[in-house]
Structure 1
Amino acid sequence: MALCDYSLLCNFPKCRTKLSGFAWATACSHIFCDQHGSGEFSRTPAICPACSSALSGKLDIVRTELAPSEQYKAMVLVGLRPETILDISHRALAFWTYQVCSAYICFSSRG
């Protein structure tokens, strides 16, 4: 199955809802639904509810729109060097691979 056939699932323990709209992504490669992200990351210090990593850096947590507008997509990488764009793309694909493999392992182990 191709990566595009998968949906991201909330990494909050016991949630696992399919993500849509907005989500919260962390530097430790976890992603959370807007409800759980808003609640968890409003606290200081922020701690990842999936792996307990401290999230103290300015960009350790970001709220992102999962279906951005065409205008946003047209402008977000404008002016960046090609190697920077490729690096960003590589990191984004690695995130998706991690999420998809984690979900597959999680659901496969449930039998």
Structure 2
Amino acid sequence: MSMCDDTLLCNYPKCRAKLCGFAWVTACSHAFCDQHGSGEFSRSPAICPACSSALSGKLDIVRTELSPSEEYKAMVLAGLRPETVLDISARALAFWTYQVCQCVAYDIHSM
């Protein structure tokens, strides 16, 4: 089993560090370690270092905790309609699928 199967890796070119603690996630579905995200996304305008997409929207870049507390998980979706929760879940699964595909492509190209 490769590291890509169960762990997010930094999408910053040449970094590929295992993400833990906090990560920066973009609207273009890329994830970055805290070090590279803090450096890259402090500039304006923000540009995704993985795909060069412009990130100008309020929620185009989010710093997120990768292991949220049980209290947070219990409340974050509370009150939302079931179809909204399912939509959020589908988007989260699509994000992970994309990350795994990117990891496989990176592994193939680095051979």
| Structure 1 Cα separation of the partners of residues 109 and 59 of structure 2 | 33
Pairing 1:80–2:80 present: yes
Unaligned runs of 5+ in 2: none
TM norm structure 2: 0.94
Give the secondary-structure state (helix, strand or coil) at the position aligned to 1:18. Answer: coil
> How far is 1:106 from its partner?
1.2
| Structure 2 Cα separation of the partners of residues 39 and 69 of structure 1 | 26
**Contact 2:5 2:100 (8 Å CA) reproduced:** no
Give the secondary-structure state (helix, strand or coil) at the position aligned to 2:55. Answer: coil
| Structure 2 Cα separation of the partners of residues 88 and 6 of structure 1 | 20
| Structure 2 Cα separation of the partners of residues 61 and 84 of structure 1 | 21
Give the secondary-structure state (helix, strand or coil) at the position aligned to 1:89. Answer: helix
| Structure 2 Cα separation of the partners of residues 83 and 109 of structure 1 | 39
> How far is 1:110 from its partner?
2.6
Letter in 1 for 2:45: P
| Structure 2 Cα separation of the partners of residues 70 and 5 of structure 1 | 24
Which residue pairs with 2:97 in the alignment? 97
Unaligned runs of 5+ in 1: none
Q: CA RMSD in A?
A: 1.3
Query: 5 Å matches for 1:13-92?
Result: 13-92=13-92
**When the two structures are aligned, how many residues end up with a matched partner?**
109
Letter in 2 for 1:31: A
| Structure 1 Cα separation of the partners of residues 32 and 45 of structure 2 | 17
Letter in 1 for 2:13: P
> How far is 1:5 from its partner?
4.4
Q: Which digits, 9 at most, give the CA deviation of each residue in 1:57-87, with x for residues without a partner?
A: 0000000000000000000000000000000
Give the secondary-structure state (helix, strand or coil) at the position aligned to 1:37. Answer: helix
TM norm structure 1: 0.94
Q: Which digits, 9 at most, give the CA deviation of each residue in 1:20-63, with x for residues without a partner?
A: 00000000000000000001001100000000000000000000
Letter in 2 for 1:23: A
Letter in 2 for 1:40: E
